[in-house]
Amino acid sequence: MRYALAILIAIFGLGLADAQSDQTDPRLKGLFEQLRTAQSPEAAAAIESQIWVIWSKTGDAELDQVLQIGSRAMAIGDTRTALKIFDTIVRKAPNFAEGWNKRATVHYMIGDYEASLADIDRTLELEPHHFGALAGLGLINVELERDEAALDAFERVLKVTPQSESAKQNIEFVKQRIKDKSI
């Protein structure tokens, strides 16, 4: 019942104030520099985790709780609930990049790639270094067989986080697919 109440609060926005943007946190500049110079994938992963923590804070404790509920719904595959929650978040906090990124992820999960791409565009407009959104952009382009666009997105991930093993693997996959298509 408590979970249902939290969902209702999230959906209808009861008591939520406008949020401040997470991507303006002054710590991010230094963390992105550390990320670019990380010496190992493990070191990069630790820095990425710190960035995700900052990105997940809106500046509004209630909205942060709503984001957590939406993230849990997404994690268990309840895309309908997650989408309603993230719709509310982007409406209440249109300058909160992670709200757009989470909604883009749900759109991806349900196969609505065009809606996901639109939300990724907004995420990257707000936070150009959003390696998660860039990776999502690459994955959607892989699904749509837009190999050059996918390659570009994964290469952009590496500019932000050069130790990203998944970006490197995805680049190799796309390059191989391009090569296979040319034969």
pLDDT in tens, 37-62: 999 999 999 999 999 999 999 889 99
- CATH T-level fold of 2-12+27-177: 1.25.40
Question: What is the pLDDT at residue 144?
Answer: 97
**With bands split at pLDDT 50, 70 and 90, how would you rate the model's confidence at 12?**
very low
What Å distances lie between residue 158 and 34, 47, 114, 131, CA to CA?
14, 14, 24, 8
pLDDT in tens, 59-105: 899 999 999 999 999 999 999 999 999 999 999 999 999 999 999 99
Distance CA 172, CA 86 (A): 33
Question: What is the pLDDT at residue 24?
Answer: 87
Q: Rounded to the nearest 10 degrees, what angle do helices 2-12 and 61-75 cross at?
A: 110
> Per-residue DSSP letters for 116-171?
HHHHHHHHHHH-TT-HHHHHHHHHHHHHTT-HHHHHHHHHHHHHH-TT-HHHHHHH
Distance CA 77, CA 80 (A): 9
Mean pLDDT for 110-116 is 98
For 34-57, give one letter per residue: b (16+ CB within 10 A) or e: ebbebeebeebeebbeebeebbbb
State the pTM of this model.
Answer: 0.87
Domain extents in the chain: 2-12+27-177
Mean pLDDT for 103-117 is 98
